[in-house]
Structure 1
């Protein structure tokens, strides 16, 4: 069984034999985090760059590929930031019904590779209009998905859990 939806509103595949694995890049510079910027029904929405890991692809390779596609820049992948799962039947950015979607997202700390600067990538997500460096302290003033990740980023680093649990978006 397959479908052409994913939890972010873009293309992906549903797998009846288990959750999809997603990789996300947490790129921080000067107390700001780099996020994909989307315009959805007239609203600004932000999310970490990343997407689905393909069969036979390492997480590092998947994250580098996804960042080139979405932010137009190669990244250096560092350690694990956090993990969470999404079990949803509506696309978080659009609210559209998508059928059951289950994804385990692995967020890794990353840095831009030497000489790289982000912009709109070679294969941006549906509704993606660019990227934005948002001050971490101000994330609560923006629609950042998933909402729990925004709160996690604003928290004291010494109190951040690695496992964020099952998130609704």
Structure 2
């Protein structure tokens, strides 16, 4: 009988960086598929989540951002999703913040890019639903930022 897996909870911050009706996304190659991710990553012990978002955006994109407000809280509990057999020990909690760039948003190029990252792209908000943005549950809420004040809150355990 296999030993039960005790999940480790990882807290992270992601950034929805908006400028002129576009959102900044990381292009990536993940598990053999071309996809997009929001910039962001893991929280350091003692680091506030808004500071995590600022640091991660700087590292991955080269931009300095102002964190405006938290939009959503997302969980991912691997045991509840498609790859439960291999991700039973995964439990992520992500705070997703609305951010605006300081300085020139065209000057991109981080100094600590993710290993999966293949580029950075400003994408029109209306086009986000047609992209392979991961997690898929973020596509519609991000696109909605183009036309209205976002609904905020807990997104749940979504992939």
TM-score normalised by structure 1 residue count: 0.77
Q: 1:85 to 1:42 in 2, by over 3 A?
A: closer
* Residue of structure 2 equivalent to 1:157: 148
Distance 1:129 1:138 in 2: 19
* Residue of structure 2 equivalent to 1:104: 93
* Structure 2 gaps, min length 5: 1-6
Distance 2:140 2:67 in 1: 23
Given the alignment of the two structures, is residue 143 of structure 1 paired with residue 132 of structure 2, yes or no?
yes
Q: Any residues of structure 2 matched to 1:1-169 within 5 Å, and which? A: 15=8, 19-40=9-30, 43-88=33-78, 97-115=86-104, 117-155=106-144, 157-158=148-149, 160-167=151-158, 169=159
Stretches (4+) displaced over 2 A: 39-44, 114-120, 154-161
Distance 2:99 2:152 in 1: 18
Distance 2:99 2:150 in 1: 20
Q: How many residue pairs end up in the alignment?
A: 151
Higher helix proportion (structure 1 or 2) = 2
Give the secondary-structure state (helix, strand or coil) at the position aligned to 2:111. coil
Larger radius of gyration: 2
